[in-house]
A and B are shown apart, each in its own frame.
Chain A
Amino acid sequence: MEMEIPYTVTARPDTGAYNAKIGIWLFLASEVMLFGGLFSAYIFLRLGATHWPHHLLNVPMGLFNTFVLITSSITMVMAWTALKMRQFQSYRRWLGATLVCGVVFLGVKSMEYKDKFHHYGVILNNGQEITGHLEMSPAEARKSQTLRILPDAEDSGSFGHQLQSVFGRPAAGEEKVLEIPKSDIQWWSNFTPRYSTYLATYFTMTGLHGLHIIGGLVVLGFFWGPGAKLYRTNPEHLANRVEVAGLFWHFVDLVWIFLFPTLYLF
């Protein structure tokens, strides 16, 4: 005899919520603690730092990604309402749009990461920091006794300069390629987590957030594809599952809404 699991569609009378909703909120509570811990660590590291970089991240790109994720939350909730209205084709379209937004977000984020990996910083023996792009391959730079680096323009942190750099490398202006002997260099590296505490926290927080986006895309992809078969037998059960996935997706988007100003603006 087959036994049916209770409260997958209707709410439990004592909690007022169906099983999956209780489960997702318990999970999201643990996620709040995870990201809350990271945000707390960021605040304390920043308060304790003698030097904290500003305008290192590309605000126009971050802003574009913010719009993409906000749009994805809207399409997500539209997919759920379409399912509640039993409009299956509309549900597939809205959920498909959410998937596209998630993929676009990851694409832009990977461009940002690539840009950081090609950006270099040099600490001279006198403590001065020079940042810019190598005018030689990283392999050459490792072997050579001299580093050839095109320093960042004076206004490289400005919104206008960052906007130009989205569409290609902006004109360097009066800047000239510097040839720095390795004997004058204390330390040099590209902008990876080891470069500074700021970049370490940036990659940790955005990397973890990116993993959440990938996880969300897997779940949403399932409900767009094979998981959508449930609609034929129990549409309300599918609507509940999509609602739970939507709650996770909204949470992940909400984390970005806090990450963007924290890391990009202030």
Chain B
Amino acid sequence: MSLRQFHLLFVTIVTGLFLGLGGWALKGYYDHQGGLLAWLGAGSLAVALLVVVYGAWFLRKTRRMGLVE
């Protein structure tokens, strides 16, 4: 597995992390543990989306560069 492929796997797992963090924070908010958790939840879900966008950009960039094995 090349660094490119491992990086894409990493990006996938990071997306999962932020989806999970978003879920954890929103659950905490609904359990009445403070309004800050609502922001953390919404922020985490937004970051998860950004990471997906970055992954797609990285995939296109490395394909253009001919780094595909």
Which residues of chain B are within 8 angstroms of A254 by Cβ–Cβ distance? 10, 13
Chain B nearest CB: distance from A67 CB in Å?
9
Chain B interface size band reads 20 to 34
In the bound complex, do residue A77 and residue B4 qualify as a contact, i.e. CB atoms below 8 Å apart?
yes
The residue that B21 contacts in the complex, of A77, A243, A261, with Cβ under 8 A, is: A261
With the chains together, A158 CA to B24 CA distance in Å? 13
With the chains together, A77 CA to B61 CA distance in Å? 12
Chain A nearest CB: distance from B35 CB in Å?
8
Which residues of chain A are within 8 angstroms of B65 by Cβ–Cβ distance? 81, 84-85
In the bound complex, do residue A243 and residue B2 qualify as a contact, i.e. CB atoms below 8 Å apart?
yes
In the bound complex, do residue B67 and residue A84 qualify as a contact, i.e. CB atoms below 8 Å apart?
yes
A65 an interface residue at 8 Å Cβ cutoff? no
Q: A159-B37, A265-B24 are known contacts. Are A25 and B2 too (CB-CB below 8 A)? A: no
A157 and chain B: residue at smallest CB distance: B33
B17 an interface residue at 8 Å Cβ cutoff? yes
Enumerate B1-21 residues with CB–CB distance to A below 8 Å. Answer: 1-4, 6-7, 10, 13-14, 17, 20-21
Q: A80-B3, A84-B65, A250-B6 are known contacts. Are A159 and B28 too (CB-CB below 8 A)? A: yes
The residue that B10 contacts in the complex, of A73, A85, A265, with Cβ under 8 A, is: A73
Which residues of chain B are within 8 angstroms of A81 by Cβ–Cβ distance? 61-62, 65, 67
In the bound complex, do residue B6 and residue A257 qualify as a contact, i.e. CB atoms below 8 Å apart?
no
Chain B nearest CB: distance from A240 CB in Å?
10
In the bound complex, do residue B3 and residue A265 qualify as a contact, i.e. CB atoms below 8 Å apart?
no
Chain B nearest CB: distance from A153 CB in Å?
13
In the bound complex, do residue B3 and residue A158 qualify as a contact, i.e. CB atoms below 8 Å apart?
no
Enumerate B23-60 residues with CB–CB distance to A below 8 Å. Answer: 24-25, 28, 33-34, 36-37, 40, 54, 58
Residue-wise, chain A 239-263 has the 8 Å CB interface mask toward B (1 for contact) of: 0000100110010011001001100
A246 and chain B: residue at smallest CB distance: B3
A160 an interface residue at 8 Å Cβ cutoff? yes
The residue that A159 contacts in the complex, of B1, B2, B33, B58, with Cβ under 8 A, is: B33
Which residues of chain A are within 8 angstroms of B40 by Cβ–Cβ distance? 159
With the chains together, A93 CA to B31 CA distance in Å? 45
Chain A nearest CB: distance from B54 CB in Å?
8
Q: Which residues of B contact A (CB under 8 A)?
A: 1-4, 6-7, 10, 13-14, 17, 20-21, 24-25, 28, 33-34, 36-37, 40, 54, 58, 61-62, 65, 67
24 contacts between A and B (CB under 8 A): A25-B1, A63-B21, A74-B54, A77-B4, A77-B7, A81-B65, A84-B67, A159-B28, A159-B33, A159-B34, A159-B37, A159-B40, A163-B36, A243-B2, A247-B1, A250-B6, A253-B10, A257-B10, A257-B13, A261-B20, A261-B21, A261-B24, A265-B24, A266-B24
